[in-house]
Amino acid sequence: MAGEQLRVASGGLSQKRSFLPLDSDPWFRYKSSMIDEIVSQLGDKADDLLRHECKTVDASTLHLPGPDWVERIFTSTDRNQRVLNNLQRMFSTGRLGNTGYLSILPVDQGIEHSAGASFAKNPRCFDPEGIVELAVEGGCNAVASTFGVLGMLSRKYAHRIPFLVKINHNELLTYPNQYKEILFGTVEQAYDMGAAAIGATVYFGSDDAHREIQEIAEAFALAHELGMATVLWCYLRNNEFKQDDEDYHLAADLTGQANHLGCTIGADIIKQKLPENNGGFKALNTGGSSYGKLDERIYTELTSDHPIDLTRYQVLNCYSGRAGLINSGGASGMNDFAEAVRTAVVNKRAGGMGLISGRKAFQRPMAEGVKLLNTVQDIYLCKEVTVA
């Protein structure tokens, strides 16, 4: 079969390669090693996560990521052409370009977690250029950070990698600490620096949620008017979500409802933490209390205890996947590579759109951070990791 041409995609660019015997083609060896590395990182969880069949919400009922994502989903919406252009730019950038999946580097922890606590492991990231360079070198679709970080470098980098400006934060210098998201700039500022998108957090369930919902709904409407895409961090925050030694901040039913509310206020993409349990509505409706509304089919038909099924319920609440679900990578720890691989496998197999992983990457030297980002991206490039 010598002389035949095999077209492959790498980093969003198509190129021709001669067809070689499978044991000598370096591209084949690379692709084959991807699934081997994924299996190795998953360890004893590999079989359960890679072979799981979802019998709750069928994948055929969802709008799944693909190269035609923007055209297929957003041409029927009220978003104007400039929003579609910026969305397409994000989906066409980096190693996952033109796959329908996203790998975003988020670094706003300097405000919420203190710069010292966030960057002590890698002081290079006190300099905004260290953050943007990591996103570029790591092959990300976009870099998400603060007005200060991205504004400091916009003329040098905004045309090289899509900017996602995080417009609100919970600053933890007020004493005692409060959990309230406040704006740190305007939508117009993000537009002026050439941002492709804005991002924001709403603490759903908090005593400040009503203000945050109204404020961010207005900000997202203006962003769309100006042609920018919108990404919402749909986080839960309420001490009462901890019941009888069980923490329901990451319950599938509650986070799913937060996702649904996020779509309602105009988010194009939803950022959510991976679910760890379920039954939040049930737990909060005990002892004569009345909280929210539930249907038993949430637990008997639409979810199971499996992490992929729990995450699929999050996707279902993102308008059946019309708003892409990206899960957060979580804090840095002892087994960052294995944890990042697991999160990405669960997200992809559930029907999600990608990962937004920060601390696991930027709290490392550049080469290690790039390797972690590429390891996550490889899961979305690996055809053997399928939607369950």
Number of structural domains found in the chain:
1
pLDDT tens digits, one per residue of 214-270: 999 999 999 999 999 999 999 999 999 999 899 999 999 999 999 999 999 999 999
Percentage with pLDDT > 70 across the chain:
92
Question: Hey, what are 40's tokens?
Answer: 């190795």
54 within a domain of the structure (yes/no): yes
pLDDT tens digits, one per residue of 321-335: 999 999 998 777 778
pLDDT tens digits, one per residue of 80-109: 999 999 999 999 999 999 999 999 999 987
pLDDT of residue 1: 36
Average pLDDT over residues 128-140: 96
119 within a domain of the structure (yes/no): yes
12 within a domain of the structure (yes/no): no
Distant-in-sequence, close-in-space partners of 271: CB < 8 Å, separation ≥ 6: 199, 231, 232, 233, 234, 326, 327, 328, 356
Which of 9-13, 151-155, 275-279 is predicted with the least confidence, judged by mean pLDDT? 9-13
Q: Does residue 241 come out as left (phi exceeding 0), alpha (psi in the -120 to 50 range) or beta?
A: alpha
State yes or no: pLDDT of 19 exceeds 80.
Answer: no
State yes or no: pLDDT of 6 exceeds 90.
Answer: no
14 within a domain of the structure (yes/no): no
pLDDT tens digits, one per residue of 296-307: 999 999 999 999
**Residues labelled as active-site residues:** 271
2 within a domain of the structure (yes/no): no
9 within a domain of the structure (yes/no): no
Burial of 179 (0-12, 13-18, 19+ CB in 10 A): middle
Domain boundaries, position 335: 21-381
Specify the residue for token string 């490889």. Answer: 378
Average pLDDT over residues 132-152: 97
pLDDT of residue 93: 98
Grouping H, G, I as helix, E, B as strand and the rest as coil, residue 271 is strand
The CATH number given to whatever domain includes residue 249 is: 3.20.20.70
86 within a domain of the structure (yes/no): yes
Task: Assess contact for 230 and 80: CB atoms under 8 A.
Answer: no
